[in-house]
Amino acid sequence: MESTAVKHALSAQLMRGLLEVNVDDARIDPDELFGFAERRNPKRAFLFVSRVLGRHIPVRPAQMEAAFTKLAAQIPDDLPGPVLVIGMAETAVGLGAGVHRAYSATRSDAIYLVTTRHPVGDDIFTRFEEEHSHASAHLIHRPVDADIRDAMLQARSLILVDDEASTGKTFINLYEALMASGLSHIERVVTCVLTDWSEGAVQNRIAAPTDQVSLLQGSYRFIEDITAPLPEMPDVETVAAGEWLLSPEHDFGRLGVRHVDDTLAPGLQIKAGERVLVVGTGEFVWKPFLLAERLEQAGADVHFGSTTRSPIAIGHAIEHALSFPDNYGLGIPNFIYNVRPGQFDRVLICTETPAEAVPALLIDTLQAEVVVNE
């Protein structure tokens, strides 16, 4: 659908209160764009679950790519360069990469960097907080490559990508951390999200001229039931390298990139119409998405999904959940949502850690194959 200003009211009764939403403008039907869920998080009870992101709900790659393109098409074409595109861990790492790919098709001075909870070296450029999150701390590395590092430090425009903006506070925290760490040439800022509930908060709080790009704009109200018990949240706050060290040689954005090649499982063969689920793990989602896109274009019936450290209750948009140890060796629980055993003919779990780091419980439950980033 085209952008529409018709009001659209939605609501969800959660265990800890009532979430009411008003949609003011949308480029995709709201019911096709997102659903609701309840966080297992005392700090914030609700979650907007994207139906086009490929994180908590498996999605066809072509549908994801259409969302990337729609978002990138709204980014102003007069941004001064170099342009630094930043994707927010862990949920929007792939979304940011997709927006960067679509945007950089028309200009060569855009680089991509992701926030992370997995340090791959000692040179941290800055850190900031996503205060409502299950894992609030984010790191940003200083790029190792001199050309990319210079482009970052000389950037005149910022494009900040996340799945949704509820209050805008995370973007504000990120912008202030970047400024305090020496990103001193920024003239323009663009926030780029699938759903924007922030009501112009970023534009009102930062000094640089700011554009807010999204597929949907609206507002929400959460009427909390103060008598409802708070959930117990698993400890997923860890920000560390983990038992399995990550290779900078296979970087997809933590150290800054201009382009990422489709290099996973180059010889993988599929049957026409075969139902395939490609699973990214944690922050490692962009190369798995490129594999899923390739298999879809080759004729398979492909969906893309991801594991996550985000603890979410069953209900509303979350119909099924599997829990298992993380594959980074951090000792924290991970989850995959809305994927049932036997739902697909073939499941490919893609990892930037060695194959033996992927939990046997996950492999056995989904009868999966492991694809390693080599």
SS3 readout for the chain: CCCECCCEEEEEEECCEEEEEEEEEECCCHHHHEEEEEECCCCCCEEEEECCCCCCCCECHHHHHHHHHHHHHHCCCCCCCCEEEEECCCCCHHHHHHHHHHHHCCCCCEEEEECECCCCCCCEEEEEECCCCCCCEEEEECCCCHHHHHHHHCCCEEEEEEEEECCCHHHHHHHHHHHHCCCCCCCEEEEEEEEECCCCHHHHHCCCCEEEEEEEEEEEEEEECCCCCCCCCCCCCCCCCCCCCCCHHHCCCCCCECCCCCCCCCCCCCCCCCEEEEEEECCECHHHHHHHHHHHHCCCEEEEEECECCCECCECCECCEEEEECCCCCCCEEEEECCCCCCCCEEEEEECCCHHHCCHHHHHHHCCEEEECC
- For CA atoms 197, 26, 286, 101, the dihedral sign is negative
What pLDDT shows up at residue 371?
97
Tell me what pLDDT residue 136 has.
Answer: 67
Question: pLDDT-derived band of residue 362, with 50, 70 and 90 as boundaries?
Answer: very high
pLDDT confidence of residue 138: 87
What's phi and psi for 169, nearest 5 deg? -65, -40
The answer to whether the beta carbons of residues 42 and 34 sit under 8 Å apart is: no
pLDDT per residue as tens digits for the range 46-81: 999 999 999 999 999 999 999 999 999 999 999 999
Long-range contacts, 329-334 (Cβ 8 Å, 24+)? 329/242, 329/243, 329/244, 329/353, 329/357, 330/238, 330/240, 330/242, 330/243, 331/238, 332/234, 332/235, 332/236, 332/238, 333/234, 333/236, 333/309, 334/281, 334/282, 334/307, 334/308, 334/309
Work out the average pLDDT over 333-338.
96
Q: What is the pLDDT of residue 233?
A: 81
**Does residue 90 have a pLDDT over 80?**
yes
Over residues 249-272, the mean pLDDT reads 94
Please determine, for residue 13, whether its predicted confidence score (pLDDT) is greater than 80: yes
Residue 266: per-residue pLDDT: 95
Q: What is the mean pLDDT of the chain?
A: 92
pLDDT at 135: 47
**For position 1, what pLDDT does the model report?**
42
Please tell me the predicted confidence (pLDDT) of residue 240: 77
> Would you place residue 242 in the very low, low, confident or very high pLDDT band (cuts 50, 70, 90)?
confident
pLDDT band (50, 70, 90) for residue 7:
low
Residue with tokens 């060569």, as numbered in its chain: 108
Dihedral Cα 78, 209, 252, 364, nearest 10 deg: -120
Please name every residue paired with 10 in a beta bridge, in sequence order, or none if there are none: 21
**How does residue 8 score in pLDDT terms, banded at 50, 70 and 90?**
confident
- Give the per-residue pLDDT at 235: 74
pLDDT winner (highest mean) among 1-5, 7-11, 307-311: 307-311
Residue percentage of the chain with pLDDT more than 90: 81
Give the pLDDT confidence score for residue 320 in this predicted structure.
97
Quickly state the pLDDT bin for 132 (edges 50, 70, 90).
very low
